[in-house]
């Protein structure tokens, strides 16, 4: 049924729970995982070049690569085949959710697994939800794993 599972990881405890669920599914279904992390910083979208922009971007990339390495190590320990991908989103008009959904189509994934913080009310309104947006726009099934 699901042979290619895309998992978005961001280093949070919620995304760790989503990764655990994806690993369990992959083991049961003998599926392959693609571990995905998106690097994005709105301050890099200005036309003015700031001296520390390159340093900031490299720090974000380095952090993202470290998150992917840790996630890949967990999948390896579980005996699950996985590959990693670092998405670099450099423009404000490119929303993380759209990029995740597009990556799921391009790979091609059979399932997208994401953690969600389960925010409600004002927190949801102000912060939005990448997971909710992916679930609304993705052409693939989406499994949302709620944080504790």
Q: What is the pLDDT of residues 28-38, one digit of tens each?
A: 999 999 999 99
Helix ranges (H only) for the chain are: 13-29, 53-77, 96-106, 121-127, 130-137
Predicted confidence (pLDDT) per residue in 96-114, tens digit: 899 999 999 999 999 999 9
Contact, 37 vs 64, CB < 8 A? yes
pLDDT of residue 71: 98
Domains and CATH numbers, the chain: 4-146 (3.40.50.620)
Residue 124: which pLDDT band, with cuts at 50, 70 and 90? Answer: very low
Running DSSP on this structure, what letter comes out for residue 80?
A: -
Cβ–Cβ < 8 Å for 142, 114: yes
Whether residue 123 has pLDDT greater than 50: no
- E strand or H helix at 39: strand 32-40
Q: What CA–CA distances, in Å, run from 104 to 38, 84, 95, 100, 130?
A: 13, 13, 15, 6, 14
């Amino acid at each position: 049924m699901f042979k290619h599972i895309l998992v978005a990881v961001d280093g949070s405890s919620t995304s760790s729970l989503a990764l655990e669920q994806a690993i369990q599914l992959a083991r049961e279904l003998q599926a392959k995982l693609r571990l995905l992390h998106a690097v994005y910083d709105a301050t890099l979208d200005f036309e003015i070049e700031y001296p520390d922009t390159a340093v900031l971007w490299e720090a974000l990339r380095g952090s993202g690569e470290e998150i992917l390495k840790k996630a890949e190590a967990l999948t390896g320990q579980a005996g699950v085949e996985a590959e990693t991908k670092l998405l670099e989103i450099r423009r404000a008009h490119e929303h993380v959710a759209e990029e995740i959904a597009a990556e799921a189509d391009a790979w091609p994934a059979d399932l997208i697994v994401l953690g969600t913080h389960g925010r409600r009310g004002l927190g949801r309104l102000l912060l939005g939800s990448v997971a909710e947006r992916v679930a609304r726009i993705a052409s693939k099934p989406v499994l949302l794993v709620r944080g504790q």
